[in-house]
Every structure is written in C-alpha cells, then in structure tokens.
Amino acid sequence: MTSPSGVTLQNTLADFFAGQPEVLEWGIVPLNRALPNADNLESWVGQGMHAGLRYMEENLDKRTVPRQLFPWACSAVLFSLRQSVPFGTPTGDFRVAAYALGEDYHRRARRILNEAHHSLSLSTGAAPLRFESFCDTWPVFERDLAAEAGLGWRGKNSCLIHRKHGSGFMLAGFFLDVDFEAYSTPQEDFCGGCTACLEACPTNAFVAPGRLDASKCLSYWTIEAKGDVPSDIAEKSGSWIFGCDVCQEVCPWNHKHIKKSTTSTPKNLPQTGLDWLTLLRKGGGFQSRFKDSPLTRAGRRSLLRNVLIALRNNPQTNIRELVETIGKEESNQSVESGSD
C-alpha cells in the first residue's frame, strides 16, 4: 500500500518538473523487477558488440537489475533534457554531433538534479529521504529505464524517440526509497515499417533493427576509441570528427527539429581545417577553450586524429604543409590524450 509520503512527493515532483524549462518529459519506474530489455543488453555485450567499451562488461547485473546497485531503491525518476543545439546545425569544414555543440549536458543535468534533491528534501521536512542521482555516473541502463518511464520508445537506431520531441534529448534521473501510487506507461513504438536510419548509416553499423555494432559506429570511433581507426571506417567517416548524427537526422520524427538555416554556426567552434589544426596542436589551447564542452571526452590527440582523417577524405591543399608539420610534432612527442 502506498504511503502518504509517496503521494506528496509525486505532487512535489510534478510541480518541480513543471518549472524546469529544459526538461521535456519525466516519469517514474518501479524497481521491483528486472528491466524488460535486460536480456538484449546481456546478449549484446556477450556477442562483443560493445567493441572497446569495457565498462559495459562491468556490473552488468546492476545495469539490468538496478536494486542490485542500490538495494534500498524503490523507484527511479527519469527525465529528458532538451538538446540545446538542434540537429543539422552547420559546423564549418567538419561535422560535430549536435549534442556536443552546447554546454556539456552532464553539467546542465547536475544543476537540475541538485535542485530536485533540494526540493524533495524540503517536501519531506525532517523525514529521511534516500536520493541518488545518475547521469552517466553509475552503471545504470538509462535508456531502458527512460523507455519504461514513458519518455519515448526504443527506435530502430537504438535511440529513444518521442513523437513530439524526436530524439534530440539527453537522459538523467535519480533513485528514491519511495513507492509511488501511479507509474508512467511506456510509449507505443511508432517506427512502423520505416528503415531510413538503418539504410543511411555510412558504415552499416546496424546488424538488425535496434541492434548496433559499436565496432562499426562512427560515434564510437570518433569519441571513445583511442589509437588508429580502421581504414574502412576512416574512409566512410567523411567529415565527421566528433560523433555522428546521420541515423537521427534522417529519422522522420526529427524532421521538424532539423535546423533550417545553413549559415549560423556555434561561435565557439573552429570553422576551417586551419582553425582546427591550430587549436589542436600541442599548446594550442584546446582544453581551456572547451573545458565546459563534451568535446574534451575524445581528448586532444584523438580529435586531432579525426581531423586528419577528415582532411584525407576532403583534402585542403592550402594546409598540406601544416598537416605534415603537426604529424612530425605528434610522432616525436609523448602526449597524454586530452592534454593541451
């Protein structure tokens, strides 16, 4: 039977999220069972489709059964955070995933999570409340929890898709030791017979609808992977240097969210190959310029590697000499990934 505090807190949450303009949707998931897509996650990892994402192998049981991570947790509250820059935003000579063009979403999410904790604590007064937030900070199957919370359906491109918001959002949430009276209802799948995302992928990374082979994904290679990029992947990466939005840009549910202008570009982003190379040279200021940006996740050296690949795919003869100079500099120095 639901305690009165659960009803009170649910009303508090509704009021709180109603006052958060960056939050698109929110919902609640009971944690008294394994997530329905848990078997798919386990088989995906078992088949090695997570490529070099070794952290996916760790605490797999906790990802599929959240109460193994926090036994006290009764519910999870999930919310979707508006992507601050729309798909299709011009980024100069090279392409960068839209989510990385604004402030790091982890920072934005943390502000909301801290405010949520404060608001709930005020609501409970002296009564104890256990609260643990997550936004890529714990082994949590966030996409599946969000699907169960009604924030969207699991699309064929492995992204969560919402009929109103498309897939241009990030996810965050928190665990509570509270049972709630009402729970969100998962959304119906509206992908239908559309396969636009599967067909548009430049590297054929989808082995089946909703099943991504990370070892073929440009987002994996341009953000997570270190070292050399396989030649067949590099040749198909075009001008992408951080992430890839192709499977989302072709999605019909995102068409109304695509930026229509072709001239306005993020002012903090280098625009030309020369600008990027200058910034990414040893001591060029990359880390300080992008300290609040997701771009630092790839690190300076990997991002420089990606730029050089993009230049090979789309040669710019006016900077050939600089490319050769930087290549010699990098080969003669041992520099930690991500350093200035």
3-state secondary structure of 81: strand
Q: How many angstroms separate the CA atoms of 128 and 131, rounded? A: 10
Q: Around Cβ 142, how many Cβ atoms within 10 Å?
A: 20
Q: Are strands 240-242 and 95-96 parallel, antiparallel or unpaired?
A: parallel
Q: CA–CA distance from 71 to each of 56, 147, 246 (Å)?
A: 21, 22, 39
Annotated catalytic residue: which of 15, 39, 61, 136? 136
Q: What one-letter code names the amino acid at 81? A: L
CA 145 to chain centre: 15
Q: Say which residues have a Cβ less than 8 Å from residue 66's Cβ, sequence separation at least 6.
A: 31, 35, 73, 76, 140, 141, 145, 175
In the DSSP assignment, the letter for residue 131 is E
Q: CA–CA distance from 163 to each of 5, 113, 211, 253 (Å)?
A: 33, 25, 21, 6
Q: What one-letter code names the amino acid at 311? A: L
In the DSSP assignment, the letter for residue 159 is S
State yes or no: is 136 an active-site residue: yes
Q: Where are the alpha helices (DSSP H) in 225-272?
A: 231-236, 246-249
Q: Around Cβ 321, how many Cβ atoms within 10 Å?
A: 9
Q: How many angstroms separate the CA atoms of 5 and 31, rounded? A: 18
> Residues with catalytic annotation?
136
